[in-house]
Amino acid sequence: MLVLVAPGQGAQTPGFLTPWLDLPGLSERLGAWSDAAGIDLVRYGTTADADEIRDTAVAQPLLVAAGLVSAYALFGDDLVGAVKEQTGAVAGHSVGELTAAALTGVLSPEEALRLVRERGLAMAEAAAVTETGMSAVLGGDPDAVVAHLQGLGLTPANINGGGQIVAAGTAAQLAALAEDKPEKARVIPLKVAGAFHTTHMEPAVATLAAKVKELTPADPATPYVSNKDGQVVTFGQEVVDRLVGQVANPVRWDLCMETFTAHGATALVELLPGGTLTGLAKRAMRGTKTVALKTPDDLTAAREAIEEARA
């Protein structure tokens, strides 16, 4: 069984979309989606610098659009039908959950991009209230790391498995963490613009809750694994409700990977810009074949992984 996953914020790098625009139709697709996304997706994905694409209001729609264009390149125009036929489960990390919602037909690509634009703006506004951020904690005993973070007033915002927990909080709290690391752990500051998936994001939850009332979500065509608790969600409205609440709740990617394994995953393909989630899977899902889409050259390996998983 193959799992299709979409990465979250921080995976973007300057120019990462450039080689993909040579594929037929992708430049036009991105151009058409730019109105829904509220930004020039082509420019931000090709010529914008690191500071520009670090902006939450830019990064989030850019990542969803990138994941979707790579999915169309991999599966063809009948995206929802092909994903249903060729994969066993779909999930996304943080903002990647909106990509996953479009892959399973819960939302159309245009709806996902309009919603992620509102999400990015609302989260950027919430992040501006207090100077906050996130740092990755690598290694150490997971329970001890969580207790250490909580002792410093930080939130374990992403429990990613594979020896990685992401701490979120104020700049002062993160500075204290840098000076007082958990035992046998390294701390790496992340290039994100706020303490996502914490109570600092509560104002964004209220904004999104109002926006999603305009949507009529469909039930997912492919099993959709939620960041909230790693459970498979079968109703479209529940997917959308979880997307809203997840802005201020921790990401439990560790539980998502446990679900993939329990359901018999033998392969995992990570959409553009891939690398982060395949890296976690290599450590936590040993023996699972992984493919990260970074350039169009990776499409062949992804197609081979799909065929092998279906055999």
Q: Active-site residues: which are they?
A: 94, 197
Q: What angle do CA 154, 157, 162 make, to 5 degrees?
A: 115
Rounded to the nearest angstrom, the gap between the alpha carbon of residue 75 and the centroid of all alpha carbons in its chain is 19
Per DSSP, the residues of 105-159 read TSS-HHHHHHHHHHHHHHHHHHHTTS-EEEEEEEES-HHHHHHHHHHTT-EEEEE
Tokens of 57: 């209001």
- Give Cβ neighbours of residue 61 (< 8 Å, ≥ 6 apart): 37, 38, 39, 41, 113, 116, 117, 120
Q: What angle do CA 34, 39, 44 make, to 5 degrees?
A: 100
Question: Rounded distance, CA 69 to CA 57, Å?
Answer: 19
